[in-house]
Amino acid sequence: MDTLVDISIPWLAAQGAASPDVLSTQLDRLDRHRITHLPWGAVGSAPNASFAIAHDKSNIFLKFYVQEQHLKADYTQYNDPVYEDSCVEFFIAFEDDDRYYNLEFNYIGTCMMMYGEGREGRTFIPVEVLKSIRKQSVIKNELGEDAHWELTLSIPASVFIYHPGLSLCNIQPRVNFYKCGDGLPQPHFMCWSRIEAPEPDFHQSAFFRAVSFGKCPGI
């Protein structure tokens, strides 16, 4: 297990049953981590993006904060190619698994989720599983040059179906976080942990970084 971690993810007590408004407010009080790297450059103005993250053993709580010029959410069905829209993404690999999960959401919360090793040959997570992810999307401002939006997510550990019985207590998975918009007028590809590759490719698990999910009370 890694001993050096880039984010210590705090415990939030009993938030799994909280309303999206309560969870969103709780996450607003935590540190925000910026998604700033543009390994492949940018055309025009790059978005501002950050996230806050916590857990309660059985759920990952994740909130994205985005300011960007173009707002698009054409896809509304589970496992649609939401990366073509105004999109945020969370990739995670558990234990020593060479395979990882990619969770991708457009700004209205439409989810695509897959599992596998590398970019090709990935397996979709079933829609019935994805329906357990709770979400709240809020558009803060559509006026002027930029749109401000926030997406709050409660992701049950049970969606990681290839890791049954997963507990989030005191573990150190490897992760990366992204902001993209492949189908926007000005496409962009931003990452939290910088990637070195000749062309846009988020499926570079060698550049995932370790994070630590905090100990759970009483465990």
Report the share of the chain in percent with pLDDT over 90.
81
Question: 7-213 maps to which CATH number?
Answer: 2.60.40.1190
- The pLDDT tens digits of the residues spanning 17-51 come to 788 899 999 999 999 999 999 999 876 678 999 99
Check whether 14 has a pLDDT greater than 50: yes
Residue 127 has a pLDDT of 98
Cα pseudo-dihedral 83, 210, 204, 202, rounded to 10: 20
Residue 214 has a pLDDT of 83
Whether 6 and 164 have beta carbons less than 8 Å apart is answered as no
Cβ neighbours of residue 18 closer than 8 Å, sequence gap 6 or more:
26
Check whether 2 has a pLDDT greater than 60: no
d(CA 207, CA 205): 5
Residue 126 has a pLDDT of 98
Order of strands, edge to edge, in the sheet holding 48-55? 33-34, 48-55, 59-68, 147-156, 134-141
- The pLDDT tens digits of the residues spanning 179-192 come to 999 999 889 999 99
Q: Would the pTM of this model clear 0.85, i.e. be above it?
A: yes
Check whether 1 has a pLDDT greater than 60: no
Label residue 89 by pLDDT band (50, 70, 90). Answer: very high
Average pLDDT over residues 102-130: 97
- The pLDDT tens digits of the residues spanning 124-183 come to 999 999 999 999 999 987 556 688 999 999 999 999 999 999 999 999 999 999 999 999
Residue 3 has a pLDDT of 41
